[in-house]
Structure 1
Amino acid sequence: MSGIKLLLILVIAVLIVVLLKYVQIKRQIRNLSKQMTDLTTGKSEKMLNISLVDKDIEQLAAVLNQYNEKQRQSIASTLRHEMYLKESIVNISHDLRTPLTVILGHLQLLKKENLSAGQKQRIETIFNKAERMKELIQTFYDLSVIDAKEVTPVREDFNLTNLLINLITENAPALEAKGISPVIGLPDYSVYLHSDYGMVERIFQNLIINAIRYSSGSIKIDLKQGKEKSAIFIIENPIDSKVEIEPNRLFERFYTGDKSRHNSGTGVGLAVVKLLTDKLGGNVFAKIENDTLTISLEIK
């Protein structure tokens, strides 16, 4: 009888040990599951804890750690490739814009020559295609900027007046093609700014192109020095009264007031203006009064 009791006690003891180990294993499985969830959701970057009571679970955790490390390397490689691609798009778009501007300028001059009707038609076709190519290059740049998670300003002192004059000169073929002679208001002195030259150049370029594209007759540009070394830039252009534009939505991605898209706008340019202006600590807003669109920009 005592032997049966001893056997029963032994069986109970074994069951208790097995139950305790089962509870430990369950707890560690839940812990591993939580760690994996934290890893996949980005809440944690720590490797899985492999100091476990069960060797099989420990081996599984080690395999999962190897998988996680490969995933990290793959993601890092993809991010490096994306950054390189975006930088390449920015550099290529900038490099292509200058020769295209020269081409457009010479085509504009050729259109004034004494040419035959057929020659004029060919020149006009080339000019329109070159303009379209310039717009596409700018769109590629804008999309690369708007998709970038990190856009960090690199600030320097530069002459903002000269930058604006250069951009107006660069866009002279497009202005002339639409018969627009911009009214430019500049102070008697040069306006200087301590900011990111490339970002400010892109902001001004997009605002000028937007005005050219949607203007129904003229463009007015004003630049002046603001308070505390800020700069204020205002650009106005009349718009077609038939085109419904919501000023408070102009800086949204892919918003275009012209639903017919006959002006080939993508709705990206002004979104980039807003993004870069925010990065520079500035303000930009739009209003429409008497069929005139006014965009006011302050860069601090």
Structure 2
Amino acid sequence: MDIKLKKYSHLLTTKIVVFIVIILCFTGIIKAFVDVEMVNDGDFGIVFEKDYFHSNEYVRESETIISQLTRLLTEYKSEEHILKGGSINEDEVRSEEETLYSDFQVNSKSFNPNLSEKENYDKFKTEYADKISQARDRLIKNDLKEFHSIVQNLEEIEDPLYYGSDGVSVFTNRTQIEKEQYRTYPSYLVFDGYKREIYPKEIEENEHFYQINERIEELEPESQVVYVAFTQEFLTSKMNEWKDHKEVITTSFYQFLAFFVGFILTFLYLVLVIGRKSFTDKEVKLNPIDKLYIDVNLVLLMCLMALWVGLVDSVNIENMDVLVFPITIPIAAVGFSLVLSLVRHIKNRTFFTHTLIYRLIYLMVTFVRNVYDSGNVGVKTVLLVIGYPLLVAATFFMFPVTLGIAAWFAYKRVKSFTAIQEGVARIKDGDIQHSIDVGGKGEFAKLASNINSITDGLQKAVSSELKSERLKTELITNVSHDIRTPLTSIITYVDLLKKENDPSKIEQYIEVLDQKSKRLKVLTDDLFDAAKASSGNIPVQFERIDIISLITQGLGEVNDKIEDLDLAFKFSHPKDKVYIQADGKLLWRSIENVLSNIFKYTLKGSRVYIDIEDAGNEVLLTFKNISAYELNISADELMERFKRGDESRSSNGSGLGLSIAKSLIEIQKGKFMIQVDGDLFKSMIYLPKYKNSND
């Protein structure tokens, strides 16, 4: 017998038959659950209930009525009480007000974040008074709707009998109002004051009776009473119905136990024999389905469970007992095939290694290892230390040659390292001009190049710092000179005025004071504008601007200055209109500063060129003029504040115009540059095109 068992236990036919039994047992379990769900909402507890009075069904019948009566008596009371707002919970009102207050904070112009919470809330209460009232009315309407719904539900109940009263409102489906009348029925629940009368007494032994107690505790014992009674006809009907349900569910329960035991035994059997041809076979045989990655397998299992739930949920409950087999069997067959694949991988010890995540990590680690293997000096040094003895052992007959090659290689490496070490020491001592040269293309050459790059950066940083210090010194000197000159004149002429009695000279002195004070005002205004522009703290209103029209109109406004200086302006631009995206006021201020610079420093009687060019996504505006002064300083220095083209500083400029123009253009997302070529001075402004310039 034992030999026959070993012969048939691992046959493919046996496994298929057992697999079919598993599917049938699993489907039988599901069918038992469905039967109980249809009859008793999935509750197997009825199997262990002694009689109807000990059942959950009895408590549900009573609790449904008591719960509704309790809500009417404690919460709603009457329609008049609801309309007066008596049923509204303050927490509900507060929640509605908080929602409206959030809307007030976001959408109301009256909300001021600088005010206190109380001050804002007072404003909210005044401004949103109507909306708060509407929200309160809506809560009342909802309570009124719920009140009538509960009353209608109770009016539709013929049995059991019920009575609920708070001394004013009465809710009942019979004319009986005395509790003695309810005591005449074969089963009743009477809750009056602090007393409760329950018949028959075994009802209090019901494990579900706490549900009724929880509802009764909400009543006010001094004024509210609730009676419920079961008529003999209704009680007999419910008892017979309960017995029928118990019989069906008991049968389903035993079926469930039988199918469950069969499922456990057959599943354990398959787990034991799957993947092997005999009990002594140590090798696990994998199937084509086992090529599926473990994590993908688990995802598919979850998808199958979700599919089953979705299909079952879409089926009408009345047809469930018929459709449970065609829905469950195919999904269970695929699902258990995947589960048994997992079992084979566990036996084969590939449950973790045969996952997509593991595969990806393995490929990544392999890639890193390959990179490491091809890697840096440290890696190569380790490989050299390990590899050289192996090379010597393999070529022992030519040991002197390999030793000489190794010595030559080591000498070159040491020489390169020494050069780098000495070079770093010189740089550390302050010789940042020193450059390290080791030659070749190895790692030491790359290290030397990186160190040289650092020294280049240090040189640039030092040069930049020196230039910055020099410019700061010049800035202080220039600011002091430009402000002190008119200020000194003002002080001098004030002293002269104090001593002068000649009216004609007094008038002359006052005129000079007026000129110097205006000059001082221009300097301070320009200084303030320069600081404000460079900080970027200026609001920008972008708009579509026709740059050709702007320049044409601007030149017309300054035509008098052009004629006074005998300048010839040459304006070159495309035939079609060119639109840019900028702030009109700030752009004209920038252009005005450039023109002002031209008027102050250009050679009288010379030509001034203005060009507008299409530069792809930008528009280039160029101003070119011949300087009346020798330009012996760089363009970068001219862009510095208080820097002028006339080193004698005899002109009326402040040296801030170009700096202000540059800052204003940059906050409009543009670029401002200048170029100096001999006496030719060129200002270039790049501004972004208007996005819909073709419209």
Could you state the TM-score of these two structures normalised by the residue count of structure 2?
Answer: 0.23
Structure 2 residue identity aligned to 1:219: V
User: One-letter code of the match for 1:186?
Assistant: H
Match of 2:578 in 1: 191
| 1:218 paired residue number | 607
Match of 2:569 in 1: 182
Q: Distance in 1 between matches of 2:584 and 2:524?
A: 19
Question: Gaps (5+ residues) in structure 2?
Answer: 1-513, 689-695
Paired residues of 1:152 and 1:279 also in contact (CA < 8 A) = no
Corresponding residue of 2:529:
145
Shift in alpha-carbon separation, 1:178–1:159, aligned structure 2, 3 A: same
1:239 is displaced (CA, Å) by: 1.5
Give CA-to-partner distance per residue, 1:190-245, whole Å, 9 cap, x none: 221111111111111111111121111221111133322x2211011112363433
The equivalent position to 2:549 in structure 1, one of 151, 162, 181, is 162
Question: Is the alpha carbon distance of 1:138 and 1:183 closer, same or farther for their aligned partners in structure 2, counting shifts above 3 Å?
Answer: farther
1:185–1:222 contact (8 Å) kept in structure 2: yes
Equivalent AA in structure 2 for residue 222 of structure 1: D
Distance 2:553 2:520 in 1: 21
Q: Alpha-carbon deviation of 1:159?
A: 1.4
1:259 aligns with 2:647: yes
Find the aligned partners of 2:576 and 2:528 in 1 and give their Cα distance.
Answer: 35
Q: Distance in 1 between matches of 2:557 and 2:660?
A: 20
Provide the rounded CA distance (Å) in 1 between the counterparts of 2:662 and 2:525: 15
- Residues 212 and 219, structure 1, Cα contact 8 Å, conserved in 2: no
> How far off its partner does 1:295 sit?
1.3
Change (3 A) 1:245 1:174: farther
- Of 597, 619, 643, which residue of structure 2 is paired with 1:231? 619
Task: Give the letter aligned to residue 608 of structure 2.
Answer: I
> Aligned with 1:249: secondary structure?
helix
Q: Please report how far the alpha carbon of residue 257 of structure 1 lies from its aligned counterpart in structure 2 after TM superposition.
A: 2.2
CA gap of 1:183–1:170, structure 2 versus 1, over 3 A, is same
Equivalent position amino acid for 2:663 in 1:
L
> What letter corresponds to residue 681 of structure 2 in structure 1?
L
Overall identity of the aligned pairs, in %: 21
Query: CA shift at 1:137, angstroms?
Result: 7.9
Deviations 1:81-101 (A, max 9, x none): xxxxxxxxxxxxxxxxxxxxx
Change (3 A) 1:262 1:241: closer
Contact 2:631 2:678 (C-alpha < 8 Å) held by counterparts: no
Cα distance in 1 between the residues matched to 2:528 and 2:588: 16
Q: Is the 8 A contact 2:562 2:568 kept in 1?
A: yes
Counterpart of 1:277?
665
Partners of 2:622 and 2:525 in 1: how far apart?
24
How far apart, in 2, do the equivalents of 1:285 and 1:243 lie?
16
Structure 2 counterpart of 1:276, one-letter code: L
Q: Secondary structure at the match of 1:182?
A: strand
- SS in structure 1 at match of 2:672: strand
Q: 4+ residue stretches of structure 1 with deviation over 4 A?
A: 135-141
Q: Give deviations 1:137-162, integer Å, cap 9, x for gaps.
A: 87665434322241232111121111
Whole-Å separation in 1 of the counterparts to 2:678 and 2:687:
27
The 5 A counterparts of 1:1-300 are: 142-148=526-532, 149=535, 150-216=537-603, 217-228=606-617, 230-240=618-628, 242-300=630-688
The 2-side partners of 1:233 and 1:157 are apart by 16
Q: Decide whether the 8 Å contact of 2:635 with 2:676 is kept in 1.
A: yes
Contact kept, 8 Å, 2:630 with 2:646, in 1: the verdict is no
Task: Tell which structure's C-alpha radius of gyration is larger.
Answer: 2
Aligned residue type for 2:609: K
Distance in 2 between the 1:212 and 1:258 partners? 14
Tell me the SS of whatever aligns to 2:645. coil
1:117 matched residue in structure 2: none
Q: Distance in 2 between matches of 1:189 and 1:263?
A: 39
The CA distance in 1 between the partners of 2:531 and 2:554, in whole Å, is 25
Aligned partners of 1:198, 1:272: CA distance in 2, in Å? 14
Give the helix-richer structure, 1 or 2. Answer: 2
Q: Rate the CA distance shift 1:140–1:248 in 2: closer, same or farther, 3 A.
A: same
Q: Could you say what secondary structure the match of 1:285 adopts?
A: strand
Asked if structure 2 preserves the Cα contact closer than 8 Å seen for 1:206 and 1:270, the reply is: yes
Structure 1: runs of 5+ lacking an equivalent: 1-128
Aligned partner letter, 1:146: A
